[in-house]
Chains A and B, each alone.
Chain A
Amino acid sequence: MSRPTLNTPCPGSSRAPTPFGTTGTDVLRRGWPGRARPRGCFVLQIARRLAALGFAFTLLLAAVPARAAMPIQEVVGASGVKAWLVEDHSLPVVTLRFSFPGGASLDATGKAGTAWMTGALLDEGAGPYQTALFHQLMADLAGELRFSVGHDSFGGSLRMLKRNLKETTELLRLALSQPHFAPEPVERIRAETLAQLSRQARNPRSLSGRLWMRDAFEDHPYGGNSEGTEQSVAAITRDDLAGFVGAAFHRNGLVMGAVGDVTVDELREVIDKVFGQLPAGDAAAQVADTRPADNGALVISRAAVPQSVVTFGQAGPKRGDPDWYAAYVLNDIIGGGGFRGRLMKEIRDKRGLAYGVSTSLMPFRHAGLIVGSVATANDRVAESVALIRQEWQRMREQGPTQAELDDAKNYLTGSFPLTLDSTQHIAAVLVQIQEDKLGIDYLDRRTELIGAVTLDKARALANKLFDPARLRFAVVGDPQNLEATRPAHAPAE
């Protein structure tokens, strides 16, 4: 499932060109490195000029960090806005990340895609600068500004050179507070978004994920595309975009993380300037808590491709659930951690049925999932599906072994600090810890929290969490010997 996200070209991606497709064929990796999606973004991530999208994902991985020798300072501006800071003066680079609550869930009925298009348009002209000049200024400053839209949040990331800190953050201020939404860029981004939607509709990977989510959540916002539908994107007006800015960009609920060559005083000045003038705002829009339909259905969307792409999953924990850490460890045992998962052993190592198979926890704000994906040749995909059901059952009945539990805990606690290797990774972690309300000392407690998962706890949860009778599948391809339990709905277009 990481793949659809990574390979999906997005609005505004014209400047991160993806000629003739985005999969690299010339460099082949042994296996996928266990990337995860940013939560709440499923297949729906705006990836503007995101050369390093792949990297960004690693850290956004569900369960967040272990401890690291990384002092986090809280910086509070005169305006009251707050940011967490990790100073590192070894490289003249600063990354500032931020997240506003709400995201695509704020889209009005019939206007799905508003948040998405807003994200693509914020730097297409703002303040005194028209599109071309804004781009030129940002390019000459070598600033890397990106926005991302999830179901639950609207995020931004600005990586910049220390020497350009003031000028680059001034452009960010303008983008957030005075975007133009002029006719030319709006129509251009609308065309890109529509092209994106039509590509996704023919891409077996995107389609499989979308089918699964649509069936799981139906009319709840999580059931739709952040990019919207052909119809809703066509209906979005300039007022809708400006309205989104007014509704979403508030100080209330805003969280920030900064990493790199910046001091407390410098950062305070920056956050006051960029965010201090935003309205205080109300609580985020009310989105109903929900639960995915997990009824064991298997749907097939026929497509003339040699390999069937399968998305599977069921309900899982939300981030704040008491079972979270046990679920996190169980996920690693069945389908996480690159090559070590039970599914990888059964499906890839023993039988050569797929290049990769993985699962991950997807904690949305208002629902939780455990979801996975696999791709197998049409004539053998039924075997992969049967093995997934079998492993789900085995996990339900027997839970993990003590050795598996120990290995997973060691891996999850040991691997985390090794990934804190760039300003962008670390800033993403700072933002996520705040979004999840885990506390500024979370990194010091993470190892302990994972360590506290006992075999009894893990087995009890395994019995509750994994249920093959509830496990749902969405298959795109031309599978043989596989029967749908009911016809596939048309995916949201």
Chain B
Amino acid sequence: MTDLTGRRATGHPRLVSGLLLALSSLATLASPATAQRFGAESFALANGLQVVVLPKHQAPAVTQMVWYKTGAADDPRGKSGIAHFLEHLMFKGTKANPPGAFTALIAQSGGRDNAFTSQDVTVYHETVAKDRLEMVMRLEADRMTGLQISDEVLLPEREVILEERRMRIDNDPTALFREQLTANLFLNDSYRIPTIGWEHEMRTLNTEDALAAYRKWYAPNNAVLIVSGDVETAEVRALAERIYGPLEARRIPERLRLEGPPHRAAVRLEMKHPRITQASWRRAYIAPSYRAGATGHAYALQVLAEILGGGSESRLYQSLVLKQGIALSVSADYAPSELGLSSFGVYASAKPGVAIPDLEAAIDAELRRVLQQGVEPDEVKRAEARMQAAAIYASDGHSGPANIIGTALSIGQSLDDVAAWPDRIGAVTPAEIEAAARAVLVERNSATGILLPEHTS
């Protein structure tokens, strides 16, 4: 989606896109036994629940994830933040398990649980010792259909999400500005509204709103269950059929991802703030994703982001930071794993004393160089090799493959798509990158943001 964070760099789950998909190359580089899709096996229950098993026997641990195919972009008009609020309320109890029981039961045996919400998905996960898998499956199945919400638990939790908003956004001028820029880039698209919600709407979210979202989207046929770790497919299948099998499928509405009208004018925003110490510049262009717009550009745009802003070898770093010495940091970001249209972003923070117009001119020159002179075959090959190596690292740890696969399946990609990622990245040609750049780096389709210290003019 269109946050202004550098996903690849910050390591939070949104970076899923590049990095997570990257995972799959583990397949080709690890042993033949795990070749293809991390050894993932997939099946579906009669009620529509999709199940993926990722056997990995390094530690005696198991992670269960339930990915619901709904997120903030599904929030009804005027109810922004309800998907995320519901995620919090999912820990507030069912008939069988009173508030607090869920986490307490898991923690007593050393397990950890948490959840996260993005524009497209809401995900719950637990990591436990292998012999507790059945317990956490029962707990997740129970709250898939049995959630109870009352004002008594909802009202204090609403204060929690408001504090969360203050902490993440309102106390942080960069986050506030990012929110503004995103809302202005997307003229009508679902992603223009922040996942956490607008404060004035969050204050009104109530029990009925939460239950409505729950009834609308939470059902086995709108979820993907991923079990990774020290397990075998047969045992997971038996448990899943016994525990999740009895839940009834329900009719799930289509997920709408609205698109905007054509941009008729480039957007420019400028914000000054006393707690900003360093001027910075960002531009985001509307871009296709794997699922929306000119999807054929999705792989080439990932390589373009690497060439422009991927680390110390990138064009922007070499030019703005090293050669010209006018930027302290630079980046480019692109997240293909969106259900709706995505964005392609370029960012730089100015070295003290450097005027923003000069910084912008230097970035524009680099973008123009791509558009007019194209990219070099050698830099493309090297960028692709770095991306494929990152894919191997993505498997170094428990959660990587599960996150990649969950992200892909939740937006309608297949395990084959995941497995093919390194090859598809490796197959991207200079001509494809140039075509993607020409299609996307169109200033009219962009929003440019300039964030300045209050005292600077």
Contacts and interface: CB of A to CB of B under 8 A. Distances in A.
Looking at A348, A350, A422, the one whose CB has the most chain B CB atoms below 10 A away is A422
B128 A418 contact: yes
Interface stretch (A28-36, A271-279, A456-464): A28-36
Contact of A20 (B58, B100, B177): B177
B171 A375 contact: yes
A144 B392 CA distance: 13
B385 to A, nearest CB: 7
Interface string A75-102: 0000000000000101111010000000
A172 to B, nearest CB: 16
B5 A25 contact: yes
B186 interface: no
Interface stretch (B108-116, B235-243, B248-256): B108-116
A20 B318 contact: no
Contact of A51 (B11, B87, B103, B175): B11
Nearest to B87: A30
Contact of A353 (B159, B393, B396): B159
Interface residues on A, range: 35 or more
A161 B392 contact: yes
Nearest to A138: B312
Interface stretch (B26-34, B217-225, B363-371, B412-420): B26-34
Interface size class of B (residues with CB under 8 A): 35 or more
A17 B329 contact: yes
Nearest to A352: B159
Contacts of B103: 338-340
A340 B107 contact: yes
Interface in B1-32: 1-6, 8-15, 26, 29-31
A68 interface: yes
Contacts of A416: 110
Contacts of A184: 322, 325
B413 to A, nearest CB: 18
A407 interface: yes
B262 interface: no
Interface string A364-393: 000000000001110000000000000000
A354 interface: yes
A424 B163 CA distance: 33
Nearest to B389: A142
A260 to B, nearest CB: 8
A23 interface: yes
Contacts of A21: 4-5, 172-175, 178
Interface stretch (A149-157, A196-204, A479-487): A196-204
B60 A27 contact: no
Interface in B372-401: 382, 385-386, 389-390, 392-393, 395-399
A355 B112 CA distance: 18
A27 B329 CA distance: 23
A188 to B, nearest CB: 7
Contacts of B395: 91
Given A19-B280, A55-B11, A195 B178 contact: no
A148 B375 CA distance: 35
Contact of B9 (A16, A27, A91, A306): A16
Contacts of B168: 23, 25, 28
Contacts of B170: 305-307
B275 interface: yes
Given A18-B5, A25-B178, A418-B128, A195 B352 contact: yes
Contact of A307 (B157, B163, B390, B396): B163
Given A29-B116, A375-B171, A195 B385 contact: no
A413 B110 CA distance: 7
B278 A198 contact: yes
A31 B159 CA distance: 14
A191 interface: yes
A319 B121 CA distance: 42
B312 A352 contact: no
Given A26-B1, A407-B107, A413-B110, A309 B171 contact: yes
B194 interface: yes
A260 B396 CA distance: 10
A304 B91 CA distance: 34
A348 B397 CA distance: 31
Contact of B117 (A28, A202, A350, A375): A28
Contact of A338 (B12, B107, B109, B179): B107
Contacts of A353: 159, 163
Contact of A30 (B91, B108, B159): B91
B37 interface: no
Nearest to B350: A195
B455 to A, nearest CB: 12
B5 A195 contact: no
A13 interface: yes
B64 interface: no
A414 to B, nearest CB: 2
Interface in B330-385: 330-331, 333, 345, 347, 349, 351-352, 382, 385
Nearest to A134: B312
Contacts of A19: 4-6, 280, 282, 331, 333, 345, 347
A15 B312 contact: yes
A306 to B, nearest CB: 5
B45 interface: no
Contact of A69 (B60, B118, B385): B60
Nearest to B132: A414
Given A29-B115, A348-B160, A131 B278 contact: no
Contacts of B347: 17, 19-20
B167 interface: yes
Contact of A92 (B29, B309, B328): B29
A135 B317 CA distance: 11
24 contacts: A13-B329, A16-B9, A17-B329, A18-B331, A21-B174, A23-B168, A25-B5, A28-B117, A28-B164, A30-B115, A34-B112, A51-B8, A136-B312, A139-B313, A139-B386, A140-B385, A304-B274, A352-B157, A352-B160, A410-B109, A414-B111, A418-B129, A421-B398, A421-B399
Given A17-B329, A31-B114, 17 more contacts: A9-B329, A20-B5, A23-B168, A25-B195, A93-B392, A93-B393, A132-B318, A161-B392, A195-B328, A195-B349, A203-B275, A204-B171, A305-B275, A349-B156, A355-B167, A411-B108, A424-B396
Interface of B: 1-6, 8-15, 26, 29-31, 58-61, 84, 87-88, 91, 100, 103-104, 107-112, 114-119, 127-129, 155-164, 166-175, 177-179, 181, 194-196, 274-278, 280, 282, 309, 311-313, 317-318, 321-322, 325, 327-331, 333, 345, 347, 349, 351-352, 382, 385-386, 389-390, 392-393, 395-399, 449, 451
